[in-house]
Amino acid sequence: MSLAQARTNGPWYAAMLAALIAGCVPRPAVPPEPHPQEPSLAHAQTLEQSGEHAAAARIYLLHAATLESPEREAHQLHAAELLVRAGQRRQAGAVLDGIDPRVLEPELAMQRSLLQGRIALAERRPLRALQQLPAPDPQLPVELRLEAHRLRAQAYEQGGDLLEGARERILLGPLLSDPGAVHANRRAIWEGISQLSPQALQQLRIAPPPDQLSGWLELAYLIKRGRLEPARLQEWVDEWRTRYPGHPADEALLQELLARQRELQQPPTDVALLLPLGGELTDAARAVRNGFLAAHYTSGAKTETTVHIYDTAQSGSDIWQIYDQAIKDGATFVVGPLSKDRVSTLARAGRLDVPLLALNFAEATDESPPKDFLQFGLSPEDEARQVAERASIEGLERALVLVPEGEWGERLSEAFFQRFTELGGVMLESARYDVSESDFSRPIQRLLNLDESDSRYRALRNITGRDIQFEPRRRQDVDIVFLAAFPRHARLIMPQLHFHHAQDLPVLATSHSYGGTPDADDDRDMNGLIICDMPWMLAPEDPLRANLKRLWPEAMSRYARLFALGIDAYNLLPYARWLQQERYERFAGHTGSLYFDGQARIHRALQWARFQRGRPVRLRNQIEKASETN
């Protein structure tokens, strides 16, 4: 039998052939799995109209992936807009980062910039917002230019550059057509300009009439000046009208300002000052009293206002009895008390018969204080919050916190943490130091993760059995250190931070780190430290402070800030109602730029300084820089 025959015979061949034939028989067709139908753009629009912005954004992104440029980028931009509306800023930012701006037409490029600016403003990062928001090209559509000027104005205002904010709003004005929007924009210009001090208003008014910005600056200066000489205000406003014909500050606004000034500015005729002139607060109370009386006798109004002082430290005295007695004696305004517990007692009143300016802040409760219960003090927590705000404005997002053990340090740490996280920052770690010590290596090493670096080195040396060359390396994920310290500890901590490889990190602190008297020898170890403090401590010495130092040299060296508190408490009295009603207004005080919040608490916007050669050198703000360059 041939090989060929052998291959075509036998049972195995029959089986193979049968299988082959079976494979050739067509099988019933099995339908493929249907693809899920992609949601339509019409469905996305329905979701958008019903407020389901995130769901609509996802559909637009799905469709964008199937399109060519520029339709693809248009869909991506709309999706990012919807994500911003949904509060999903991080996701919106990721979409925008994925769009190559080089392929965008000018209109789409501006839309991308506007969205990036909105995200930065929502995160309270005004410098980043301005980096993302170029001045709009005049050839762009009106609605895009309008939005660009509006966002740029908000960014400048958020960053504290009120002058540039006003300039942007002046550019915005001619683009507005709705009467309500026109009025709101003018009001925003006025509210921004009104926050400037009289000195800044004078320095910045450089262009002659009828320049619009100079007109706003001069009007704001006249209104502030009119509070000191109310009888001449109408005359000054009439002269201003002549110099600035057709100015956007129209007659309705002028009449409103004049009427509000007459209504709200009412200097008290009889003031009661409630202070503990005995006991543990004696020295502090005397400093406040002496500052208050110094302001009274130098104000020019001493013949119109009478001051009576009541000692709240008298044995068995009740704060309510003292308050009632002051009213019986004719007081039309009460200032004090100073201690937190007594302020809290008065805060629980249902009502007050005459207005009261407390010289401290009441304990926080669920109950609202009575009407005309005003609170003013030197709050450490307020300063910690301002450090957080400064860090956020500078784009510093990751913080380490170093505070002393105890209740004071915990209060400042918590205040900084709450405000910093509100603004989008992250507190990476905090450490406490023992105020009785001088060597703070342990908390600093823990804070900077140097202890972990050393542990890794020891473990590696044990494994290899060799003495390896090693240089400690601090953590690299941090932008800022917040320090709460009094002068002795600040002088010790700053060099130790530098020694532990943190010399390149910004260290920001409250005013408590500065003793108040320039001392280059003792304070040179604080070089590089940035502090916030009141103008009274940082500005060139004025005649009033020089006189107080001559009269009370020891008290001024220890309690200078409390002297300033007393001065401002007196000077605020004629303007308290005005500031409370017009919360955009600022009062240029010795303790800071003062303003009310919605709970009748006075806050202090402080100045900033960096220690150089052992002395605090004030950091100029944007307004001062502008006045120097104009």
Does residue 9 form part of some domain? no
CA distance 90 to 112: 15
Q: Which of 375, 400, 419 is the last residue of a domain?
A: 375
Residues 207 and 280 in one domain: no
Residue 554 lies in a domain: no
- pLDDT at res. 198: 87
pLDDT of residue 452: 55
Do 385 and 370 belong to one domain? no
Domain boundary residue, one of 238, 263, 288? 263
The pLDDT value recorded for residue 622 is: 53
SS3 of 609, please?
Answer: strand
C-alpha to C-alpha distances, 304 to 44, 267, 271, nearest whole angstrom: 69, 9, 11
Q: What is the pLDDT of residue 366?
A: 76
What's the CA gap between 52 and 39, in Å, rounded? 14
Mean pLDDT, each 10-residue run in order, the chain (630 residues): 39 37 44 57 89 93 92 95 94 95 94 97 90 96 98 93 95 96 95 90 88 96 84 91 93 86 78 95 98 90 81 85 96 97 92 95 87 96 97 92 98 98 94 97 93 50 54 83 98 96 95 94 96 93 90 96 98 89 88 93 96 93 50
pLDDT recorded at residue 248:
94
Radius of gyration of the chain, Cα coordinates, nearest whole angstrom: 34
Q: What is the pLDDT of residue 359?
A: 98
Pair (163, 232) in one structural domain: yes
In a domain, 553, yes or no: no
Same domain, 228 and 318: no
Q: Are 130 and 108 members of one domain?
A: yes
Judgement on whether residues 330 and 435 belong to the same structural domain of the protein: no
| In a shared domain, residues 71 and 195 | yes
Strand-by-strand arrangement of the 480-483 sheet: 426-433, 398-404, 480-483, 507-509, 530-533, 607-612, 615-618
Residue 171 makes CB contacts below 8 A (sequence gap 6+) with 149
Strand partners, 430: 401
CA 412/CA 57 separation, integer angstroms: 41
Q: State residue 93 phi and psi, 5-degree precision.
A: -60, -40
What's the Cα-to-Cα distance from 490 to each of 172, 515, 534, 566, 577, rounded to whole Å?
A: 47, 10, 18, 27, 40
Token pair recorded at residue 254? 């002028």
Say yes or no: 257 and 362 in one domain.
no
At which of 247, 263, 279 does a domain end? 263
Total of domains in the chain: 3
Count, residues in the chain: 630
Range of the domain at 316: 270-375
Same domain, 277 and 204: no
Q: In this structure, is residue 34 part of a structural domain?
A: no
233, part of any domain: yes
Q: Are 252 and 164 contained in the same domain?
A: yes
Asked, for residue 444, whether it belongs to a domain, the answer is: yes
